[in-house]
Amino acid sequence: MRIGLAADNGDWHKARLLAALRAQGAEPVLFSLADVAVVTGGGEPLRVPGFPALPDGVLLRTIAGGTFEATTMRLGVLHALAAAGVTVWNGPVAIERAVDKAATSLLIARAGLPTPDTFVVSHRAAAAEIVAREAGPGRPLVLKPLFGSQGEGLQLIARPDELPPEDAVSRVYYLQRYVARSDGLWRDYRVFVCEGRAIAGMIREGDGWITNVHRGGRPLPWAMPPRAAELAEAAAAAVGVDYTGIDLVADGAGGFLVLEVNAMPAWSGLQTVCEADIAAAVARGFLAAVRAAHRPRRVVA
């Protein structure tokens, strides 16, 4: 099997995944989606570095950030790979849904899963109306960048005049009801789901309301309650991700709300507090999917 690992940054994750794939008998080739070319005029027009013919499977760890054009091209490459029969994990449709926080919220809501009330509009006037109606002192809305990650660019908005101009939000206002933590600790939860199963979870404790590990959030061991595992599994299914990190927050009544579905999750923090070998689980699930898709046809004698 010809196996590619598409990754740009994060040496720790690359090394773990390469080792896990090798331990399971694969010989992965590391490449960056930014180095894939389209060349017409003869032969296979999709040129993946390290692959004279197209790979059988691509495990996608990261898509390098970039302009709208660069991201569109890289997603187009993933779509072209999938259309050519290459097993791509996570697949392009799942990536698109998870990267776009509005699409994620829509799918979570359609699946009937609990998530904070969310409002996504394009015009500042419409956003101002929502803030005037839904927010107030002590009960703000969270404004998030539509394509945000790692807890960057989030803001609490309590008054319409606090809304940034349309240019500053790339012309999309993603507003979500702020969920206050009831016990005075800045905690929420990360669940890692692979092949439909919640295989690991942790508490994330921050020094403020944004708990991402990238922003200083500390991973703590967590005896994941079954209802959190079930909710994370349902959220993964709703978005169609093969492996994912799901952010949950306590709803204050013993249950959980889905905050985010991450289709390119990092797990170096989680791995320090959980028993499951996450890279091994991802490699196992991915290779099983590649094998299932490329099962040799039975030869009838």
Ligand X SMILES: Nc1ncnc2c1ncn2[C@@H]1O[C@H](COP(=O)(O)OP(=O)(O)O)[C@@H](O)[C@H]1O
Site residues (CB under 5 A) for Mg ion?
247, 260
Q: Is 260 in the site for ligand X (CB under 6 A)?
A: yes
Q: Is 115 in the site for ligand X (CB under 6 A)?
A: no
Q: Is 154 in the site for ligand X (CB under 6 A)?
A: yes
For residue 54, report the phi and psi dihedrals to the nearest 5 degrees. Answer: -65, 145
Cβ at position 41, least distance to ligand X in Å: 41
Residue 20 token pair? 């896990």
Query: What DSSP designation does 298 have?
Result: P
Kindly tell me which of 87 and 105 has the beta carbon lying closer to ligand X. Answer: 105
Q: Is 56 in the site for ligand X (CB under 6 A)?
A: no
Count of residues engaged in binding ligand X, rule: CB under 6 A: 21
Length reported for the chain: 301
> Burial level of 149, CB count in 10 A (0-12/13-18/19+)?
middle
Q: Give the one residue of 247, 265, 266, 270 binding ligand X; rule: CB under 6 A.
A: 247
CA distance 155 to 159: 12
Q: Is 187 in the site for ligand X (CB under 6 A)?
A: no
Q: Is 242 in the site for ligand X (CB under 6 A)?
A: no
Q: Give the one residue of 107, 144, 200, 222 binding ligand X; rule: CB under 6 A.
A: 144
Q: Is 105 in the site for ligand X (CB under 6 A)?
A: no
Residue 289 token pair? 């999917």
Q: List the one residue out of 201, 194, 260, 195 whose CA is nearest residue 227.
A: 201
CA distance 232 to 238: 10
Which residues make up the interface to ligand X (CB under 6 A)? 116, 142, 144, 148-151, 154, 176-179, 188, 209-212, 247, 249, 259-260
